[in-house]
Amino acid sequence: MSHPAMAPDNVAVITGGASGIGLAAAMRLAGLGMKVCIADLGGDRLGEAEAKLASAARGGAADIMAVAVDVSRIEQVAELEAAVRQRFGGADVLMNNAGIQPGSTMFGPLENWQRVLGVNLWGIIHGSQVFAPRMIARGRPGLIINTGSKQGITTPPGDPAYNVSKAGVKAFTEALQHELRNTADSKVSAHLFIPGHVFTALTARGRTEKPDSAWTPEQTVDFMIERVAAGDFYVLCPDNDVPRRLDERRILWAAGDIVENRPALSRWHPDYADAFSRFVAGE
């Protein structure tokens, strides 16, 4: 069973929908009989995704939209919402999924930081602020699913701009859900989607074959649909290498840095390597 918002003839809007997890979600929802709008940067990739979706949709091309959008620009997100409303009447499911990970360093170019934060964090803020009020006003069950990351929770060293953006997504989505559940007559809920290792163009790093440790985008989307239907806010996805229990121990250790007053990112501090290993083992 899927969530009531994921029903035939309802409308899903998915940013970053031309590839990876976004396209997999669009294909699954089109397969459920939903009308689907994908938003992504323009180009051949967007047109190819639109054609693929049209072949899977119950109503063919009539049930599919593809719009070129830069989610870091709120005026473009507002134009997307207006276009969806004009074509399909409004959105029942919004999946704020657009994201980039070009890599970053602490003292790297400012423009790189601004772009990562603009897409990964501001894109989700823009999508939620633009779509949510009209979704609430529709008076129908609705979903806002924001794609976060485990890196926004445990914040490992190596890509600080990405970590900051995804930590912001976590905090924003928690606040959004609190707001929605305390809004009179709202039937819309927010959910934080936290994929594990997924083999996509974003994570391939030159590889052409999926590593054994990774899930496919389709596996990840199926897990997300199942857990959203079950009512989970934190949709914490495993993969073929990291089971949920290991994620839980890593997350608890990260929170423990504050409680125990350990050094920042003590999981990667040589003086705490043995203690972390024992903690993960449950000792």
Q: Which residues are catalytic?
A: 162
CB 180 within 8 A of CB 190: yes
State CA 212 to chain mean position distance. Answer: 23
Tokens 């693929």, located at residue: 52
User: Which sign, positive or negative, has the C-alpha torsion 17, 149, 31, 87?
Assistant: negative
Token pair belonging to 164: 């900051």
Token pair belonging to 265: 């990112």
Compute the distance between CA of residue 121 and CA of residue 101 in angstroms, rounded to an integer.
Answer: 12
- In order of 88, 132, 202, the CA distances from 223 in angstroms are 27, 24, 20
Indicate the DSSP class of residue 155.
-
Residues facing residue 12 across a β-bridge: 36, 93
- In order of 12, 45, 249, 250, 277, the CA distances from 162 in angstroms are 26, 24, 22, 18, 26
